[in-house]
């Protein structure tokens, strides 16, 4: 015995009996020859239940919302890229742009985090840097459309203006 229905989950004809497949809905069992042969099973089901027939295909579920970024993993990735998790001795030397520490934080970045969230970053304290960088990422990521780990790293590395330029050239 096969069960065929162009609209799964509504009603099907099994042998000579119409069976309702909606969970929690009681449908009267009818013989297939007792129901007229309409244009579609949806029409017969709707007519049998006393409802209206909607035009078009059955409704689809909306796409799931994208998952929120995992900031702990993103911060680990930034830490790895910027200083090999603190193993690169050069991270403790002040660079040409004033970058310093395991996250290579620059003075303009420090000022921006303080402006955004009133948070003061101590570049020598890893946990403190992580908190400040997360504040900064949460502020700018939605504004520029950065979602993936790579995009968030590029945003951190380039800043919002540089990221927008990079994203505009991205294929």
Domains of the chain by residue range:
1-56, 71-169
Selecting from 2.40.40.20, 1.10.530.10, 2.40.10.10, 3.40.50.300, what CATH number does the domain 71-169 have? Answer: 1.10.530.10
Crossing angle (nearest 10°) for helices 149-169 and 126-144 = 40
CA 43 from centroid of its chain's CA atoms: 37
Which residue stretches of the chain have pLDDT < 50?
1-5, 7-9, 12, 16, 30-38
pLDDT digits (tens, 9 = 90+) for 37-65: 445 555 555 555 555 555 556 667 887 87
What pTM value is reported for the model?
Answer: 0.61
H or E segment and range at residue 137: helix 126-144
């Amino acid at each position: 015995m096969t069960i065929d229905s162009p609209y799964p989950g509504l009603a099907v004809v099994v042998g000579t009996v119409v069976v309702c497949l909606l969970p929690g809905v009681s449908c009267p069992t009818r013989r297939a020859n007792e129901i007229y042969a309409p244009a579609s099973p949806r029409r017969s089901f709707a007519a049998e239940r006393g409802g209206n027939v909607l035009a078009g295909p059955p409704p689809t579920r909306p796409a799931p919302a994208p998952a929120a970024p995992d900031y702990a993993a993103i911060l680990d990735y930034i830490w790895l890229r910027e200083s090999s998790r603190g193993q690169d001795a050069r991270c403790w030397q002040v660079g040409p742009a004033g970058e310093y520490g395991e996250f290579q934080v620059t003075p303009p970045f420090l000022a921006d985090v303080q402006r955004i969230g009133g948070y003061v970053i101590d570049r020598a304290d890893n946990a403190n840097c992580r908190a400040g960088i997360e504040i900064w990422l949460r502020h700018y990521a939605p504004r520029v459309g950065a979602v993936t780990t790579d995009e968030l790293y590029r945003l951190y590395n380039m800043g919002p203006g540089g990221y927008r330029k990079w994203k505009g050239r991205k294929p």
